[in-house]
Amino acid sequence: MNTTQLHAAPTRGRPPLLAAAALLVLALVGSALVAAPPAQAAITGPTVVSLSFDDGDADQATAQQAMAAKGMVGTFYVTTGFTGASGYLTRQQLTSFAAAGNEVGGHTVTHADLTQVASSEAQAQICNGRKVLQDWGFTPTSFAYPFSTANAAVEAQAAGCGYTTSRGLGDTRTRFSCGSCVRAETLPPADPQYLRAPDQVDSRWTLADLQGTVTGAANNGGGWVILTFHRVCAPTGTASCPADRSITPTLFSQFTTWLDTYRKTTANKTTVKTVDQVVRQYKGASYPAYSPASSVPPKPVAAAGTNALLNDSLETTDAATTFPQCFQPGGWGTNTAVWSSATPGRTGAKAEQLALSGYSSGDAKLLPTLDLQTCAPSVAPGATYDLSTWYTSTGTSQYALYYRDGSGAWFYWTSSPWFATSSTWAQARFTTPPVPAGATAMTFGLALIANGTLVTDDYALYRAGSGPAASAAPATTSGSSTTADSPSARQAPSSGASTPAAGGPSARPGGPQQPPAPPGLTRREHSKAKPYLPGGEALRPGTQVAVPPLRTDGVG
């Protein structure tokens, strides 16, 4: 089944990362032009500032503390499937934010680009994220589009899921882009389902830039200035504090200190409010009653004897990612992954090749997409499943498995024993332990865990014992264990695979390897992307993971 793309209207928004090089040039040229805020002019209309935060990154707690010290509140647009994962805010923190007067809004379940997924997936991402927030005790009415991309169909879905407003990015004036745009959103906004806002704040922004967005609006008729922050960390420009989405705590504190002083000067006619507070302000008595959230149920579990995977032979390419449709890359650790389409496949015209180099830790793998409605196969709690992948490989490989819970969050589940190198097509097979209670879907990937080349094709997932007759020795099984590092998991894998005596995901190949020659396939490189998806010895079973979807621009 193809994932029908939404093209009902042109995509809106200006994702700042898509033009990073051009923006850097503008930043360098314009830096000398904004050494100080614009001179004070006659202020004719009120200005309201909303401080908003996307994704729910853990270090946004630093910003919340800085705002609280000045008696300010903001809007936190939360990706619910990431909440509680490493590097993200917890539910307890969000609850404390709300108790302090901050607003908690929606930002989908897994940060999907809503213009690049099927309509049913977009609806589930928006509606289910809102339902999760409601179940957590919040009353979400404000939404922000991941990657700031939307079209008419997506805007209608946001409204249909019960959101009063939805925010974009890059549609009001800054020195970095959109020089002819309005200086602020109007009150009331022209399109509540696409609130206009400046580009996201990142390491290029100075205190003068932040001040200028406020004074530029105040000195030119006023309006609504919606500033958007992601990471609040230091030093920027490092792997743990990326320059393209970070601001230092020092700069944020300097800005809130200035803003507090500026708003307290009556002549400036400036206030600081959450997004919902602004909506209540301009709607007044017409402010709508809260619309209870409802979720979209997961797709049905495949019947016994049916391969639950779509595009299992990898024949169809997803134009939005360049990977096989309904599949995505993932990995972790220190290594370099290069992905390419390989022709021919074991069956059909295509297979997928992974070349791994510079290996010292981690893995890389291709998996059925970690989504809500389209690609990830639904599973029944307590059931076991037979999974298989045909492969050729010059390096050792191993299955990594993940499951999704009822809230849409994803968790590491288990790993298989190792599979040996093979110069001809071999079948990696594994039977899962019982699906954890509360799980609604799963995914798996044959992970390369050493330097080498891995080509995969013909993926399958069947209810245990219901698939095609085994073509080789019995599948490796994990029995009742939840990890592969156990006696029952260290059975010899089938189809020419072998397991080192140490077994399990904690061990690593030792001694020199003598890999066979790589298969003679035609290859076309299409990505070096490897969205972070840890497994094996990096995680304990049941650990939540956060994996943004991949886009053609490599942004996740």
CA 2 to chain centre: 21
DSSP assignment string, 457-487: EEEEEEETT-SSPPSSSPPEE-TT-SSSSSG
Structure confidence at residue 211 as a pLDDT band (50, 70, 90): very high
Q: How far apart are CA 399 and CA 427, in angstroms?
A: 12
The residue length of the chain stands at: 556
Burial label for 443, CB within 10 Å (0-12, 13-18, 19+), is buried
Q: What is the pLDDT of residues 493-546, one digit of tens each?
A: 333 333 332 333 333 333 334 444 455 677 778 777 778 899 888 899 999 999
Structure confidence at residue 447 as a pLDDT band (50, 70, 90): very high
- Tokens found for residue 192: 């509540």
Same-fold call for 44-286 versus 327-507+523-544: no
Q: What is the pLDDT of residues 342-375, one digit of tens each?
A: 999 999 999 999 999 999 999 999 999 999 999 9
Average pLDDT rounded to a whole number, residues 259-266: 97
CB-CB contact of 500 with 509 (8 Å)? yes
Nearby residues of 238 by Cβ (< 8 Å), 6 or more positions away: none
Q: What is the pLDDT of residues 87-121, one digit of tens each?
A: 999 999 999 999 999 999 999 999 999 999 999 99
Residue for token pair 């009902």: 8
CATH of domain 44-286: 3.20.20.370
The CA-CA-CA angle for residues 123, 124, 126, to 5°, reads: 70
pLDDT for the residue numbered 531: 81
Whole-number percent of the chain with pLDDT over 90? 76
3-state DSSP call for residue 531? coil
Q: Which pairing describes strands 397-405 and 410-419: parallel, antiparallel, or unpaired?
A: antiparallel
CATH of domain 327-507+523-544: 2.60.120
Closest by Cα among 278, 229, 284 to 48: 278
3-state DSSP call for residue 525? strand
pLDDT at 480 over 50: no
Q: Give the residue extent of every domain in the chain.
A: 44-286, 327-507+523-544
pLDDT for the residue numbered 553: 67
Q: What is the largest CA-CA distance in the chain?
A: 83
pLDDT for the residue numbered 469: 57
